[in-house]
Amino acid sequence: MPTDYAHRVISLRIYPDAPHLVADGQEIARHPRSFERYQTFYDFRHYIDLIERKPGALRNGAPLPRCPKRCCTCRSIS
């Protein structure tokens, strides 16, 4: 769910192919459905607004994959 909708009431509509998250009558997110157990999926695009407002908020966080050592752009976000 996009961070703008955290702590707000939303609707979750479950369909055979994907769950749909709806707020104020508008779809805010949709993801492919997985039937595997104990799986967590993150979409980094949902966190872009958070990182813009609060750089470093997700440092070493689960939503972002670990950067290889040769990557220098992720180090400048701290």
Whether residue 70 has pLDDT greater than 90: no
Phi, psi of 68 (to 5 degrees): -70, 155
Reported as half-sphere exposure (CB side, CA atoms, 13 A), residue 19 has a value of 9
Separation between Cα atoms, residue 10 and residue 48, nearest integer Å: 20
Residue with tokens 């813009």: 52
> Which tens digits make up the pLDDT trace of 2-55?
778 888 999 999 999 999 999 999 999 888 888 888 887 777 777 777 777 777
